[in-house]
Amino acid sequence: MKASYPVRHAPPHIAVMGGGIAGMVFAARAAELGGKVTVLEQGDDELYRCNTRYTGGAFHLCFHDIDEPAEVLAAAIKTSTAGFASEALTGAIAADARHAVRWLQTQGIRLMKTGPDAWRQHFLAPPSLMQPGLHWQGRGGDMLLRTLRRNLEARGGSLLRGARVVRLLTAEGRCTGLEYERGGRRATIEADLVMLADGGFQANLDMLRQYVSPAPERIKQRGAGVSRGDAIRLAEEAGAALAGMENIYGHLLCQDARHDDRLWPYPIMDLLAGAGIVVDRAGRRMMDEGLGGVYMTNALARLADPQGTVVVFDRAIWEGPATEFILPANPYLPLSGGTVESAGSLQDLATRLGIDAAGLAHTVKAYNAALSQGTASALSPPRTGGGARPILHAPYHAVRLMPGITFTMGGISIDGHGRVLRADGAPIPGLYAAGCCTGGFEGGVHSGYVGGLTKSATISWRAAAHALKPA
């Protein structure tokens, strides 16, 4: 039977919570399609802080080119998330990521290639990953937000800064608007639909402690650190289901990043750890280093002391894998003031680190033997995947680690159009969500990372088309 929709005699009123990529893509496209849009952004500044301004700017899916066939991308998503990603979100994003990115280009967003790798084919321009530290003004993510805001306002929409949403309005099971605080006063907006897009809960220590880590205060904020989980809380109060709350996206950092801003968001220690071993103060390996940096970041976050490990490696690793990827540890870690402990023997290295020398020697011996015999997967914990190197060549090195969180992967359950879902799978009328406040796509047992920008832009782009489809 053909679906019917209410006849609209005036442009639909739309309220958007959050001014990052998810909120602004939705807002700009909804305005383009005829909606009357108001964006509420909690940041006060003209260039309000958010992860989009700090982004490296890569549009990829599991480090695949978004122009690869949809079935290839869908398979990569399923593999990366160990089957966790929902069929609806997998199919929607694999099919439409390329279209959402092409739409961004029609809005005046500049993209460029930054290298031969598949995941480097669609980068926001100009790129931000050129030197350690934060250098975002006038670069890709910043310019994306500026451009989308200009387009929104040119189409009659508006952005209210310093506006924090505190309540969703509902009537007869439908979302009918929201209430917000601004300048010490409260006001309401009645809306035909509301889009929730204020990011995850990485800046909310209570939520991090509930879902992610026993010691969230010992995790480094690797992004803007402004998202407090407001949309997730409000959606849950309105009857939404949540999904995948236990996983985060982030990278391994040198502990010196606690007090030195030159050492975050890059260089990251992922490739060092992926080639060497991560051990605790007893010298024991703590995780499967072959599952990648995002997995290891989650594993560290779940420890009683997220800052209680070191990565141990040798000269060959330092001169090999440590020189690869964006702003690699060699040479940027020491050049930026980070500490690399070095010694001529494992015994001396353990003494410098304050860890058990006998335990470290036993771990390294067993690890090297397993690699040479091809039995690394039988270690406890196992060592799977590629990239493992034996630790044989003096001098031996180590870096003290800490997990760095960029955003949380879990949140509000949505379908492929961004509609917010109840526990029974039914959508809540009038309520959409996109970006890092949503769950059900990234995560799973391996903390599978798919691509934050791509996920956010694609679902927002699809949600605007669905919400404003012709009557």
Element (H, E) at 140: helix 140-154
CATH number of the domain at 327, please: 3.90.700.10
Give the pLDDT means over successive 10-residue stretches in the chain (471 positions): 48 97 98 98 97 95 98 98 97 98 98 94 88 89 98 98 98 97 97 98 98 98 96 98 98 97 96 98 98 98 98 98 94 97 98 97 98 97 95 97 98 98 98 98 96 97 94 60
Contact indicator for 405, 221 with CB cutoff of 8 Å: yes
pLDDT at 1: 36
Range of the domain at 227: 13-246+409-467
Residues contacting residue 313 through CB under 8 Å, at least 6 positions apart:
272, 275, 276, 277, 322, 389, 391, 396, 397, 398
Q: Report if residue 2 sits inside a domain.
A: no
Distance CA 416, CA 170 (A): 23
The alpha carbon of 146 is separated from its chain's Cα centroid by a whole number of angstroms, namely 21
Cα-Cα-Cα-Cα dihedral sign, residues 404, 407, 410, 411? positive
pTM of the model: 0.95
Contact 249, 80 (CB under 8 A): no
Can you read off the two tokens belonging to residue 84? 């966790």
For residue 263, tell me if it sits in a domain: yes
Q: Please check whether residues 51 and 154 belong to one and the same domain.
A: yes
Q: What is the pLDDT of residue 300?
A: 98
Domain identity same for 183 and 315: no
Q: In what order do the strands lie in the sheet with 185-190?
A: 163-171, 174-182, 185-190
Give tens-digit pLDDT for 445-471.
999 999 999 999 999 999 999 999 876
> Residue 424 corresponds to which amino acid?
D
- Cα separation, 288 vs 370, whole angstroms: 14
SS3 24: helix
Tell me the backbone φ, ψ of residue 449, rounded to 5 degrees. Answer: -95, 135
Distances (CA, A) of 46 to 163, 202, 203: 13, 23, 21
Strand partners, 419: 432
Q: How many domains does the chain have?
A: 2
Pair (350, 303) in one structural domain: yes
Structure tokens at 230: 């407001």
Q: In whole angstroms, what separates CA 173 from the centre of its chain?
A: 31
Tally of CA atoms within 13 A in the half-sphere of 385 that contains its CB: 19
Q: Which two tokens stand for residue 361?
A: 């020697």
Q: What is the DSSP string of 374-427?
A: T-GGGSSS---SS------SSSEEEEEEEEEEEEE--EEEB-TT-EEEBTTS-E
CA–CA gap between residue 256 and residue 254 (Å, rounded): 5
Same domain, 258 and 282: yes
**pLDDT reported for residue 3:** 39
Distances (CA, A) of 433 to 30, 323, 427: 14, 39, 11
Segment holding 332, helix H or strand E: helix 329-335
Amino acid type, 462: R
3-state helix, strand, coil in the chain (%, to 5): 35, 25, 40
Whether 112 and 235 map to the same domain: the answer is yes
Do residues 232 and 337 share a domain?
no
Residue 7 counted as domain residue? no
Domain for residue 140, yes or no? yes
Return the number of other C-beta atoms located less than 10 Å from residue 85's C-beta.
25
- 3-state DSSP assignment of residue 170: strand
List the one residue out of 187, 192, 188, 163 whose CA is nearest residue 176: 192
421 and 330 in a common domain:
no
431 and 398 together in one domain = no
Question: Is the residue at 85 inside a domain?
Answer: yes
pLDDT of residue 469: 86
Kindly report the CATH number assigned to the domain that includes residue 213: 3.50.50.60
